[in-house]
Structure 1
């Protein structure tokens, strides 16, 4: 892949991203989902956008992270101990203002905190995919 195509795939309108972040956190649905499902925060560094999800009480095997076009989907499924045949499922989807499939996306889960790193500088596969948790 040539350098021009790499830069084109990773281009994101940073002003649009700033406005999207303001709108996301001011949306009352975001606060409702933080309380009803699980809390999510989004941070920006020079090299990454970082999505943090608070998932205390879960194991990494209970969590799935998928990226599809512009969407980041975090789902959890945990067996309810009081009802052995019941599974509790919680799911949140974040709709980014750019296609995250073109960015390198990695994730870690430790001490009840899921961190998903969306690179601003490294290319991804350009395909919908699950992100493996170590």
Structure 2
């Protein structure tokens, strides 16, 4: 069964290969230990990125959509740049064209990238409620 053509903005086979490479990449495990842990999930309607940020407040987090990248930045204290931690997730398709929203609760940042709904089509910061 050929699954390459679909209604989504991405190729399913390409996405599966990207996920496999992401989870097998030793740099992913290293960044999980030295920066903060990230998990990726898929539902029927969304790609979900979860970041474990127990020691942070929502006001000290930023989420940026930039072309095919999702950039998560966390600062312990806004004035202490040496306590800055950042993770960049490179997607195999332009996420700036998709609806992206985020929430932060109990130390877990959840970012939802819609498979169905279109976004603004530009680079932007995502507001945390």
TM over 0.5: yes
| Counterpart residue number, 1:130 | 125
- The count of residues paired between Structure 1 and Structure 2 equals 122
Deviant stretches of 4+, over 2 Å:
none
Larger Rg: 1
Aligned CA-pair RMSD: 1.3
Q: CA deviation at 1:79?
A: 2.1
Q: Which residue of 2 aligns with 1:55?
A: 53
Match of 2:44 in 1: 46
Q: Which residue pairs with 2:86 in the alignment?
A: 91
Alpha-carbon shift at residue 129 of structure 1 (Å): 0.1
1:86-105 alpha-carbon deviations (Å, 9 max, x no partner)? 34100000000000000000
Matches within 5 A, 1:1-134: 10-79=8-77, 86-87=80-81, 88-134=83-129
| TM-score, scaled relative to structure 2 | 0.91
* Aligned match of 2:3: none
- The gaps in structure 1 that reach 5 residues or longer are 1-6
Measured after TM superposition, the shift of residue 57 of structure 1 is 1.3
